Homo-oligomer: A and B are copies of this chain.
Amino acid sequence: MTAAQIDVVAVGNAIVDIIAPADDSLLTAEGLTKGGMQLVDAVRADALYAKMGAAHEASGGSAANTIAGLAALGRTCGFIGQVADDQFGKVFSHDMRAIGVEYTTQLRGEEPPTAQCLIFVTPDGQRTMNTFLGASQFLPAAALDKAMIERAAVLYLEGYLWDPEEPRAAMRAAIDIARAAGRKIAFTLSDTFVIARHGDDFRALLTEGLIDILFANDGEIRALMGTGDLEAAVSAAAALVPTLVVTKSEEGALAVHQGVRTDVAAQPVAKVVDTTGAGDLFAAGFLAGQAEGRSIADSLRMGAICAAEVISHYGPRPEADLKALVAAQLG
């Protein structure tokens, strides 16, 4: 095992977000579950887009947002995810490379188009996501940059991408590559709908000892462990993974690392504008803290600082100087 030359390589959906403010009445009329994510086909995406107000576009994708956060925190990163050969694919690729992220996945042709996520942001700052996966769901195992994964200290995987078949096979292959190279593997559960469909897979990954760091929010960890009781779920999950990180929105976050539990409060936010990317940026802060050799408590605090930044403005990626924000609070 050689020393890692990259801090984190992620495999995730490569998505362009289309973001607009919306009233709660629109969510109701369209039958959308506030705060959730649903997959939509092209026809439904067009219908929802027609109901959306004037929007703006920005690169997104859960693991990709985490990588953007890590890059903003000064870590070296790589990303693997599938876009199409279209304008949104060009936008996504540009935004990755512009922040210094190694991104070598080849474009896939014009159809289906690059993944798009229609995000309705209600006045309370909650985001409701409708994802058309397009090209993203066709990431083949052959697209994995094996050498890049081998060079990275941490492989970060997005649960969302476990749902479609080809990327699931690709992620299994990525796990094998990382394991063989002696690297750590971090996994984020992403959403309860993924757990409903693939919970058995996830629990198997944990019991087989293939995951080193598991990220979840409170709903996800309860769904994974099949209990409505958060504390019971945390205890059960913590027994299966060396490091468990659970975010609880405005209630803060916790980690259980080798049996030791640490809790931190949420970072205060003057006004929650758009919660898109909160969990993604929490993971970025935590992983950056670990890469810097910080304590679990300070790594959690870094996660909270990064999450607070991204929910204070529209869009899923950091805009302020995250390094400066962290330095001002944690030194």
Contacts and interface: CB of A to CB of B under 8 A. Distances in A.
Interface of A: 18, 20, 49-50, 52-59, 68, 86-88, 91, 94-95, 98-99, 113-114, 315, 317
A54 B86 contact: no
A20 B87 CA distance: 17
Nearest to A84: B87
A94 B54 CA distance: 7
A75 to B, nearest CB: 16
Main secondary structure of the interface of A (DSSP, over half): mixed
A182 to B, nearest CB: 32
A62 to B, nearest CB: 17
Lowest 8 A-B CB distances belong to which pairs?
A57-B57, A87-B87, A56-B58, A54-B95, A54-B98, A53-B98, A54-B99, A87-B88
Contacts of A56: 56-58, 315
A52 B113 contact: no
Given A87-B87, A87-B113, A98 B57 contact: no
B54 A68 contact: yes
Given A87-B87, A87-B88, A55 B95 contact: yes
Contacts of A55: 91, 94-95, 98
B52 A94 contact: yes
Nearest to A114: B87
Contact of A54 (B52, B88, B317): B317
A54 B54 CA distance: 21
A317 B235 CA distance: 50
A53 B318 CA distance: 13
A147 B106 CA distance: 47
Contacts of A98: 20, 52-55
A54 B49 contact: no
A315 B18 CA distance: 15
A183 B227 CA distance: 70
Contacts of A58: 56-57
Contacts of A52: 94, 98
Given A53-B98, A53-B99, A87-B113, 12 more contacts: A18-B91, A54-B59, A54-B68, A54-B94, A54-B98, A54-B317, A55-B91, A55-B95, A55-B98, A57-B57, A57-B58, A87-B88
A21 B56 CA distance: 16
Contacts of A315: 56
Contact of A86 (B68, B86, B317): B86
A260 to B, nearest CB: 37
Nearest to A51: B98
26 contacts: A18-B91, A20-B98, A49-B94, A50-B94, A52-B94, A52-B98, A53-B98, A54-B59, A54-B68, A54-B94, A54-B95, A54-B98, A54-B99, A54-B317, A55-B94, A55-B95, A55-B98, A56-B57, A56-B58, A56-B315, A57-B91, A86-B87, A87-B87, A87-B88, A87-B113, A87-B114
Contacts of A94: 49-50, 52, 54-55
Nearest to A95: B54
